[in-house]
Amino acid sequence: MNEFLEPFERMLEALSPPATVRAIEAGGSAAALWDGIAESGFLDALVPEDCGGAGLPLSEIGPLWQALGRHAVPLPVGETMLARTLLAAAPAAPAAPAGPIALAVADPGTAIVVPFGGVAHHVLLESGSQLYLVEADGEPTGVPGSLAARMRWDAPGGVSVGAAPPGGLRAVAAILRAALIAGAADRLTTMTAAYANERVQFGKPIGKQQALQQQMAVMAEDMVACRIAAQLGCAGGLPPSLAAAATAKSITSTAAPRLAATAHAIHGAIGISAEYDLQLYTRRLHEWRLADGSETYWNRLLGAARLGDARGSVDYVREMLA
């Protein structure tokens, strides 16, 4: 058991209940939530000890990222952890700003959707293999409840941080996104199982129906697959290998729409109501599936890497995901 997970979960339960998530999604202030998380010290959990952080390995941070997904935290907490770590590791980088930081990879002149860009104060931007710290300035995406923002930089501007990590910022962000999906999948599966055992039709819980049991069994398999994939993504530390990032994001992105569809199918009409918490998680699954590369993007990269390697598939998997 990760010794940091329990206090982290307790903090999120206290600071980020569904009512707070809805208020921030509706345009309310996130200052109190952010200040509470910042005061906990977890934002520097990945930063090396000689730079003032806790120096925890990524394998111990992964479960904390899953907790963020499990609580639908409406701020870029994991992104800020990564940004502060990359800023601390860059000799010429400025000190990390106090507010939330989003992550983005964009070519000049190309508009992109930045997850949590609507509530971030800064963006750590990769452009042309270089990192820049820029102020967050974007437009809403138009998706109800989404905290992402549409952004575009004709020139990077901002403060130059240095070279992007090996493998690029997108691979780093992908393992975070995989962990968030795994956490949301965990919560969705728990909620759906509880509802299936509580909802009674024709004199018995709907969870006793064989057709629903089959759907829930597949849902549980997807949830566990997401958890294992997220753990693989974080097991090798920063920066992740291509195989680790691609495996984690491909598996979790593939499972995300299945998990959301099954949860809504079993809940029925109540699942799509704004007052019910289910939509807080299913909306995020769809958004995180596409963020930092969908399963198609990562499958192509992983397939090309596998075909370019002379080893057999078993040896390749054993070596690349060790």
Per-residue pLDDT of 86-117, as tens digits, reads: 999 988 888 899 999 999 999 999 999 999 99
- 8 Å CB contact between 242 and 305: yes
Domain boundary among 130, 163, 196: 163
Q: Domain range spanning residue 242?
A: 169-321
Q: What's phi and psi for 112, nearest 5 deg? A: -135, 165
Domain check: are 191 and 126 in the same one?
no
Domain check: are 26 and 154 in the same one?
yes
Q: Which residues of the chain have pLDDT under 70?
A: 1
Task: Quote the distance between the C-alpha of residue 163 and its chain's center.
Answer: 23
Token output for 124? 């750590």
**Rounded to 5 degrees, what angle do the CA atoms 104, 109, 112 make?**
35
Q: How many folded domains does the chain comprise? A: 2
* pLDDT given for residue 1 in this prediction: 57
- Give the ranges where the chain is alpha helix by DSSP (H): 5-15, 18-25, 31-40, 58-70, 77-89, 169-198, 210-235, 242-267, 278-290, 295-307, 313-320
Count of C-beta atoms within a 10 Å radius of residue 143: 12
Domain boundary among 115, 137, 163: 163
CA dist 137 and 72 (Å) reads 23
Domain check: are 187 and 132 in the same one?
no
Domain check: are 286 and 215 in the same one?
yes
Domain check: are 15 and 158 in the same one?
yes
